Chains A and B, each alone.
Chain A
Amino acid sequence: MDQVISLTLKVWRQNGPDDAGAFQTYQAEGISQDASFLEMLDIVNERLIEEGTEPITFESDCREGICGTCGLMINGKAHGPELGTATCQLHMRKFNDGDHITIEPWRAVSFPVIKDLAVERTPLDLIIEAGGYISVPTGSAPDANLTPVPKEAADMAFDAAACIGCGACVAACPNSAAQLFTSAKLNHLNLLPQGQAERWQRAENMVETMEMYFGTCTNHGECHEACPKEISLDFIAFMNRDYVKAKIKNRKLAGQR
């Protein structure tokens, strides 16, 4: 398939966090359908540079769906129309000749635009810093299978750990809630024996950091549809359960709080 298509792009341009920003229309002629969405933007940018105009700023890194850096709102859908893929895994063969495509950055008050389509996702990092780790003495590598992990728990933790931290869940959520991200990161550790020691502190700290920055979940389920890793809503339920349990347990552990 080496079909070539032409598109009309409506792209959000914004010069910095404090700039008002506006849409600009670009014609993208002669784009190969084998190109990925990001490659299409690369081609458009090269032409813009040749013309002497500022290229469109967008983020990307691994371009194979595992780093979580790319993320665009494509025609109102996070990561574009395909389910379970990141923007970099979206290909132009999913579009037709003459299509109009609107490209916007993630929108949430806690995701301020850095420039054009790049947004700052620091609050997600802050949630990880609040508890998305385990504290272990490092040293020589432990023996394999030293800690038995039930198969089911391992599978589930693995599903949760698939989250790449792209922020599409926040972007797609009508409430700008970060529940899916936080619950994935929380459960990935809380389901495993290695995560038990800090389980309740982790639940409290991660959730409370999340709540400082994001909206509240009303169980729409939009995040799951937007998620390139198809993280399950079940993790949100587990998080809600662990959080209230943590409130009770931590109080007992700490004597009074």
Chain B
Amino acid sequence: MAQTLSRSGRGPQPLRPRKKQLPFPLNIYQTAIGRKWVMALTGIGLLGFVVAHMIGNLHVYEGPARMAEYAETLRTLGGGLVPRGTILWILRLGLIAMFGLHIHSAYSLKEISRKASPKAGFVGGAKQYSGGQDFIAANFASRTMRWTGPIILLYLLYHIADLTWGWWLGDDFVHGDPYHNLSESLSSLPVAIIYIVANVALAVHIFHGAWSMFQSLGINNPKYNKARVAIAAGLAGLILVGNLSFPILTQAGLIDEDNRECAVEDFDDEHDILICLEEQLEEEG
């Protein structure tokens, strides 16, 4: 194979000429492998968020009062040391930054691969062989990362508009009463379907991502390599089951407000609902 002769200017033109290096550590992000590291590290952060978000939301099964209490806990993180909402906003900014980096690195890497492959289409950036490209090792999850990613992003925006800003619920939206908002929103069948589809995409994305990040970060030890796939499958399964339980059980009528104390209709002022919920908690002790 390689004959190590030095002839200059031979071979095809580089697709990406070497650029001047930025100061450390920015130069790591200039390279594709560095970007894979950033994608993996932000992926770990985002995965942590998804898991925490899912587990936190399980409070919904304890009823409206506990759910409202949990929401309030998030806003008052850090106790009285910092103004209300500060820590939550710091976390949110961190998340936004991680999303930004995750998406930018994914998009820019996809572009590099697209330029390196002839007749590359958008899906999987795969080049076409007329003999039919048989994927042998690549699985559904790894080939659809570039579809599940954008689906999750769109869903994320929808989800925030739905349950944080209350765009679609309008007057039905009660600030600080997530149980009510959730059951109002998810009791509509089309909405529940959006949530189900998006969360399946999320689980598929996580399945490849969680395995892939070990590889990108170079965490590889023949002893534990089998465990990497198990961890990925376990995480994806956990998130799938947890997150799908909300729309499905709402549709099944398990999450509803039929016997709710402090029923939303009985109050004119949002604030009074929250006070009623707090009183309910105190009574329960």
Contacts and interface: CB of A to CB of B under 8 A. Distances in A.
Interface of A: 10, 23, 67-69, 73-77, 102-104, 107-112, 120, 122-126, 128-129, 132-133, 164-166, 174-177, 207-208, 211-222, 224-226, 233-234, 236-244, 247-248, 251, 256-257
B220 interface: yes
A215 B6 contact: no
B11 A176 contact: no
B179 interface: no
Contacts of B134: 75-77
Instruction: Report whether over half of chain B's contact residues are helix, strand or loop; otherwise say mixed.
Output: loop
B129 A73 contact: yes
Contacts of A242: 218
B66 interface: no
Interface stretch (B114-122, B163-171, B194-202, B259-267): B114-122
Contacts of A107: 117-118, 127, 129
B24 A211 contact: no
A189 to B, nearest CB: 13
9 contacts: A10-B131, A23-B130, A103-B131, A125-B1, A174-B143, A177-B113, A211-B31, A216-B35, A236-B215
A222 B27 CA distance: 29
Closest 8 CB pairs of A and B: A241-B218, A122-B11, A215-B113, A165-B1, A102-B131, A237-B220, A221-B137, A215-B116
Interface in B231-262: none
Interface residues of B, number: 62
A225 to B, nearest CB: 4
A221 to B, nearest CB: 4
Contacts of A219: 142, 208, 211-212, 215-216
A49 B138 CA distance: 41
A111 B134 CA distance: 21
Given A176-B113, A215-B113, A218-B113, A67 B215 contact: no
Interface stretch (B15-23, B68-76, B78-86, B269-277): B15-23
A222 B218 contact: no
Nearest to A236: B215
A104 B116 contact: no
Given A125-B3, A175-B125, A234-B222, 9 more contacts: A104-B130, A107-B129, A125-B4, A174-B143, A177-B116, A219-B142, A234-B220, A240-B218, A241-B217
Interface in B14-67: 14-18, 21, 24-25, 27-28, 31-37
Nearest to B115: A109
A123 B117 contact: no
A233 B215 CA distance: 8
Given A174-B124, A240-B218, A247-B24, A125 B2 contact: yes
A74 B33 contact: no
A240 B32 contact: no
For A76, A120, A122, A238, which residue has the most chain B Cβ atoms within 10 angstroms? A76
Contact of A214 (B17, B116, B219): B116
Contacts of B116: 108-110, 175-177, 213-215
A67 B4 CA distance: 15
A215 B125 contact: yes
A66 to B, nearest CB: 10
B132 A67 contact: no
B214 interface: yes
Interface string B141-154: 01101000000000
Contacts of B31: 207-208, 211, 243
